[in-house]
Amino acid sequence: MIPPDRNPADVPECRCADVRRIRELNENNTKKFIEERKRQAVMQSRQMELLRKLHTDHADKLRLEMNSVRRQICGGLGPQQERPSGASAMQENLLATGTPPRTPLGELPQIP
């Protein structure tokens, strides 16, 4: 047994086999760690891609359903038809484009 205050390389009977074995164990541990990190990165990349696809699909379905409801409520009013009395320009823009106008952060659009 090697005393705790001595380096294994300094002890003649431990010099070759034990030092080599410890070095190989450290190399194997490092290799396994690096491979695990790569595997985790690939798995995370796949999960993020699936999540993006799922989010895009849900957003498309929601957009279609919102347009359908908008058409039912407004009776199919499009940009070429006359605006009903009392409808604001923002409401008309919403009906025509399907998206509300952009405003600076913190500022909400005024709806009459």
For the segment 59-76, what is each residue's pLDDT rounded down to a tens digit? 999 999 998 888 888 775
Residue 87 domain-assigned? no
pLDDT in tens, 73-87: 877 555 555 555 555
Query: What's the pTM value of the predicted model, to 2 decimals?
Result: 0.44
20 domain residue, yes or no: yes
On whether the CB atoms of residues 90 and 100 are closer than 8 A, the answer is yes
Domain count for the chain: 1
Give a yes or no: residue 102 inside a domain. no
The Cα angle at residue 111 between residues 105 and 112, in degrees rounded to 5: 150
Examine residue 100 and state whether it is found in any structural domain, yes or no.
no
Residue 57 domain-assigned (yes or no): yes
Q: Is residue 99 part of a domain?
A: no
Instruction: Residue 67: give the domain boundaries.
Output: 8-72
Residue 88 placed within a domain: no
Q: Are 83 and 75 in contact (CB under 8 A)?
A: no
Q: Is residue 45 part of a domain?
A: yes
Instruction: Please report the pLDDT score of residue 27 as a whole number.
Output: 95
Q: Is 99 in a helix, a strand, or coil?
A: coil
